[in-house]
């Protein structure tokens, strides 16, 4: 689960997309209350989810071209990168959310929003069953169907407990705004309980032991926030127990922040050491009770336990049940995440697109495609290509598959060059396909799935809205750019992810950043960069103003420790 503090930049991709067109009308055979949808003149686009991916699509889609509807159990968009700041009151919850109705009102054309949960996607009949989460007698069961011509699945992911006993019942999560608010109240509860009369010192210690499971960006940022909250505010308010507070991070890997550059991991580890935050690496949690957490030290196999007052579980994400159900319907039951092609079309599901954390671009298909490109070029089935043919094939692959292109541009270009030259350094007349594919097999390790981050989700939403907006153009120019004509593949460029770097706030007004071009920056100045980037990436002037004023309030008055 590689998410996090990324520069949240909505990429301005210049790519378009040809969208599958279906004439077939929707079937209304499934039971339930049908909505009074009039026969649409425009194609119906149904968006599921109002997170990073969904709102990014909605922000850019031209709603005059489509009949756009949105379904989500939350009627707001939440700026998730600031959730850790909400857990300790650095930023207020309402400062990081924006009502979805307000966001879509600014768009050209009308977008309809339904506050409900999608409980089933009926892929065969192109309709979804929704259930309102509002408790009201008027709504009876609160179920209704929505039909679509195109479905945009942007349902995100849910927390993953890895079926560890006791986690669901005894741990806090940090995924939603409510989770952050709950943590804020529980932290104060722990302090208030610890100072009550009649408790032994061990009981006070247990109450003030905060355990974070998962050394990824979310867990680390929360640990840093908690430490700052304690050092900056709570130590003055609860002086009698100040020496009993302990923060522990449990990480199964060998280092925390292991998806970052090694320099950042070690800077974070050293900083945490100085701050007195204990980091236990190489440990896997085996169970959690209301008072104790048990873990196995991977190298020794020993199981040890420690008492806790509060555990925050931040180890990764899993698939939502509604997405899992769809995967079973469309023959993807053996996969972990919904697979799409590079144009973000769900494999095996007509007219459905999936973006953000709920989906991944299927890399296996890319490998198969590369093999068939070679096969098609090798007309005599000789296993070799002329240098010219080979270069054409490589050009084709590079344009179609950005991942391979990146790979070829970097380390392994030498392997490719080697294949093109003989021992004397002269150009070869023929190139051995298997030899090239062998060198390309390294690509497998490079072609990892895209990280589950807001940055990816937002870029995918923006890419897809551009594709939808260019629908008409695509119909008018079905041949697409000349380069692909006759290839029988796809007329437009696939989704290309552009990485803008990532941040890790480490507390004490210090942060680390990994920037494009292998740049690493750590310290106080990076924290100021973090402030500027996150202020600028707010989705509205209202939230920008609220977030900046929350930061200013915290500088002047400190954090609020009221338990409300
Ligand atoms: P989400 O944003 O999770 O949106 C899913 C949407 O689907 C929500 O609106 C939800 O209400 C809706 N939904 C859920 N179930 C249903 C249903 N059954 N029917 C209809 N709608 C439904 N990434 C970064 O790049 N930088 C960061 O700094 C960063 N920090 C993070 C900090 C935290 C604490 C967390 C939890 C994540 C962070 N991430 C960060 C990751 C980032 O938030 C996710 O990658 C991003 O939210 C994914 O966007 P999404 O649209 O796929 O899913």
Nearest CA to ligand 1 atom 12: 49
- Reported as a pLDDT band with limits 50, 70 and 90, residue 327 is very high
Residue 207 confidence (pLDDT): 96
Q: In which band, very low, low, confident or very high, does the pLDDT at 115 lie, cut at 50, 70 and 90?
A: very high
pLDDT of amino acid 496: 80
Distance between Cα 149 and ligand 1 center (Å): 25
3-class state of residue 318 by DSSP:
strand
Which pLDDT does position 416 carry in this prediction? 57
What ligand 1 atom has the least distance to the C-alpha of 357? Answer: 52
Count of beta carbons in the 10 Å neighbourhood of residue 110? 12
Do 44-158+318-362 and 167-315+501-557 agree at the fold level? Answer: yes
130 alpha-carbon distance from chain centroid:
24
Q: Ligand 1 pocket test: which of 88, 357, 455, 538 has the largest number of ligand atoms within 8 Å of its C-beta?
A: 357
Q: In angstroms, rounded to a whole number, what is the distance separating the alpha carbons of residues 81 and 221?
A: 10
Residues 6+ apart with CB under 8 A from 176: 74, 78
Position 382 scores a pLDDT of 80
CA 495 to chain CA mean position, Å: 16
| C-alpha distances out from residue 70 to 57, 129, 454, 464, Å | 11, 13, 19, 15
Q: Write down the pLDDT at residue 389.
A: 81
CA dist 395 and 426 (Å) reads: 21
pLDDT of residue 161: 92
* pLDDT tens per residue, range 207-223: 999 999 999 999 999 99
pLDDT at 11: 29
pLDDT at 28: 36
Instruction: Parse the chain into domains and list their residue ranges.
Output: 44-158+318-362, 167-315+501-557, 378-446
- The pLDDT assigned to 404 comes to 63
Q: Position of tokens 């840093």?
A: 224
Q: Which atom of ligand 1 is nearest to the CA of 222?
A: 34
What integer pLDDT is reported at residue 471 of this predicted model? Answer: 73
User: Does residue 22 have a pLDDT over 50?
Assistant: no
- pLDDT for position 138: 64
Mean pLDDT of 125-146: 84
What pLDDT is attached to residue 313?
Answer: 97
DSSP 3-state of 2: coil
The predicted structure's pLDDT at residue 564: 82
Residue 175 CA, closest ligand 1 atom number: 36
Here the ipTM equals 0.99
What's residue 182's pLDDT? Answer: 97
Q: What is the reported pLDDT for 229? A: 96
The yes-or-no verdict on residue 236 having pLDDT over 70 is yes
Instruction: Give the domain 44-158+318-362 fold.
Output: FAD/NAD(P)-binding domain (3.50.50)
State the average pLDDT over residues 130-156.
86
Beta bridge partners of 146: 128
Q: What is the mean pLDDT of residues 96-124?
A: 91
From residue 200, give the alpha-carbon distance in Å to each of 196, 197, 204. 10, 9, 6
Residue 77 CA: nearest ligand 1 atom is 9
For residue 19, what pLDDT band results from cuts at 50, 70 and 90?
Answer: very low
Residue 180, pLDDT > 90, answer yes
Poorest-pLDDT segment among 143-157, 291-305, 404-418, 535-549 = 404-418
- List, chain by chain if needed, residues with CB within 6 Å of any ligand 1 atom: 3-6, 8, 48-54, 71-74, 80-81, 83-84, 117-118, 154-156, 174-175, 218, 320, 322, 356-358, 452-455, 457
Two tokens at 52? 């990073």
Give the pLDDT confidence of 237-292 residue by residue, as tens digits: 999 999 999 999 999 999 999 888 889 999 999 999 999 999 999 999 999 999 99
pLDDT at position 343: 86
pLDDT the model gives residue 538 = 95
Give the count of alpha carbons within 13 A of 12, CB side only: 0
Position in ligand 1 atom list of the atom nearest CA 457 = 49
Residue 336 pLDDT level (bands cut at 50, 70, 90)? confident
Q: Mean of the pLDDT values across residues 51-65?
A: 94
pLDDT in tens, 433-454: 766 655 555 444 445 567 889 9
Rounded to a whole number of angstroms, the CA Rg of the chain reads: 26
Supply the residue whose CA is at minimum distance from atom 36 of ligand 1: 175
Q: How far is the CA of 40 from the centre of ligand 1 (A)?
A: 31
Range scoring the smallest mean pLDDT among 92-101, 309-318, 382-391: 382-391
Does the pLDDT value for residue 531 go beyond 90?
yes
Rounded CA-CA distance 138/385 in Å is 70
Report the half-sphere exposure of 31 (CA within 13 A, side-chain side): 1
Specify the residue with its C-alpha closest to ligand 1, atom 31. Answer: 81
pLDDT averaged over every residue in the chain: 83
More confident residue, 486 or 475: 475
Q: If you measure from the C-alpha of residue 90 to the centroid of ligand 1, how many angstroms do you get, rounded to a whole number? A: 21
CA pair distance 50, 107, nearest whole angstrom: 15
In which band, very low, low, confident or very high, does the pLDDT at 341 lie, cut at 50, 70 and 90?
confident
Ligand 1 mean position, distance from CA 514 (Å) = 22
Rounded CA gap, 459 and 454, in Å? 8
Task: Tell me which residue of 176, 5, 173 sits closest to 93, measured CA to CA.
Answer: 176
Kindly give the distance from the C-alpha atom of residue 357 to the centroid of ligand 1, in angstroms, as a whole number.
7
Can you tell me the distance from the alpha carbon of 320 to that of 324, in angstroms, rounded to the nearest whole number?
6
Q: How far is the CA of 83 from the centre of ligand 1 (A)?
A: 11
Tell whether domain 167-315+501-557 is in CATH 3.30.70.600: no
Residue recorded with tokens 């127990």: 241
Instruction: Find the mean pLDDT for residues 515-528.
Output: 89
Q: Which residue has the tokens 């060059």?
A: 417
Tokens of 366: 């890319």
Candidate from 26-35, 203-212, 320-329, 536-545 with smallest mean pLDDT: 26-35
Tokens of 59: 């922000």
> Residue 140 has what pLDDT?
67
CA distance 517 to 298: 35
Q: Which ligand 1 atom is at minimum distance from the Cα of 8?
A: 25
pLDDT score, position 139: 61
């Amino acid at each position: 689960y590689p998410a996090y503090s990324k520069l949240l930049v909505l990429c301005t991709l210049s790519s378009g997309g040809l969208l599958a067109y279906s004439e077939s009308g929707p079937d209304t055979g499934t039971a339930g209350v049908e909505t009074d949808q009039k026969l649409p003149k425009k194609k119906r686009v149904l968006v599921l989810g109002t997170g990073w991916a969904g709102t990014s699509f909605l922000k850019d889609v031209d709603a005059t071209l489509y009949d756009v509807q949105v379904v989500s159990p939350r009627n707001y968009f939440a700026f998730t990168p600031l959730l850790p700041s909400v857990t300790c009151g650095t930023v207020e919850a309402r400062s990081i959310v924006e009502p979805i109705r307000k966001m879509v009102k600014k768009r050209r054309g009308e977008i309809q929003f339904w506050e409900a949960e999608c409980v089933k996607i009926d892929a065969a009949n192109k309709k979804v069953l929704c259930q309102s989460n509002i408790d009201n007698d008027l709504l009876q069961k609160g179920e209704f169907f929505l039909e679509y011509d195109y479905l945009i699945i942007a349902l995100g992911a849910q927390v993953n407990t890895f079926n560890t006993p006791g986690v669901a019942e005894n741990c806090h999560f940090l995924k939603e705004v409510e989770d952050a608010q709950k943590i804020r109240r529980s932290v104060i509860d722990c302090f208030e309980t610890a100072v009550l009369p009649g408790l032994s010192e061990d009981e006070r210690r247990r109450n003030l032991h905060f355990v974070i499971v998962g050394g990824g960006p979310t867990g680390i940022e929360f640990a840093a926030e908690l430490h700052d909250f304690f050092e900056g505010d709570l130590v003055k308010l609860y002086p009698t127990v100040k020496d009993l507070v302990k923060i522990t991070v449990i990480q199964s890997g060998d280092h925390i922040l292991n998806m970052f550059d090694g320099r950042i991991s070690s800077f974070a580890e050293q900083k945490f050491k100085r701050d007195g935050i204990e980091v236990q690496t190489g440990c896997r949690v085996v169970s959690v009770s209301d008072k104790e957490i048990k873990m196995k030290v991977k190298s020794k196999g020993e199981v040890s336990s420690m008492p806790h007052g509060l555990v925050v579980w931040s180890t990764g994400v899993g698939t939502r049940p509604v997405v899992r159900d769809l995967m079973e319907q469309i023959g993807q039951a053996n996969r972990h995440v919904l697979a799409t092609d590079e144009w973000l079309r769900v494999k095996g599901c007509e007219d459905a697109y999936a973006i953000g954390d709920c989906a991944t671009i299927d890399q296996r298909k890319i490998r198969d495609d590369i093999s068939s490109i070679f096969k098609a070029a090798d007309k005599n089935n000789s296993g070799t290509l002329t240098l010219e043919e080979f270069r054409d094939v490589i050009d084709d692959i590079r344009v179609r598959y950005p991942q391979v292109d990146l790979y070829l541009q970097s380390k392994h270009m030498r392997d490719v060059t080697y294949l093109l030259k003989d021992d004397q350094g002269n150009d070869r007349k023929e190139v051995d396909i298997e030899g090239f594919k062998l060198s390309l097999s390294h690509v497998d390790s490079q072609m990892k799935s895209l990280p589950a981050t807001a940055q990816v989700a937002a870029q995918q939403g923006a890419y897809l809205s551009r594709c939808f907006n260019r629908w008409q153009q695509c119909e008018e120019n079905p041949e697409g750019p000349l380069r692909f004509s006759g290839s029988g593949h796809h007329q437009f460029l696939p989704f290309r992810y552009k990485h803008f770097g990532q941040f890790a706030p480490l507390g004490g007004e210090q942060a680390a950043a990994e920037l494009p071009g292998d740049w690493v920056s750590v310290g106080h100045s990076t924290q100021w960069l973090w402030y500027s980037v996150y202020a600028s990436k707010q989705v509205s002037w209202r939230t920008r103003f609220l977030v900046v004023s929350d930061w200013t309030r915290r500088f002047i008055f400190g954090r609020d420790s009221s338990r409300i």
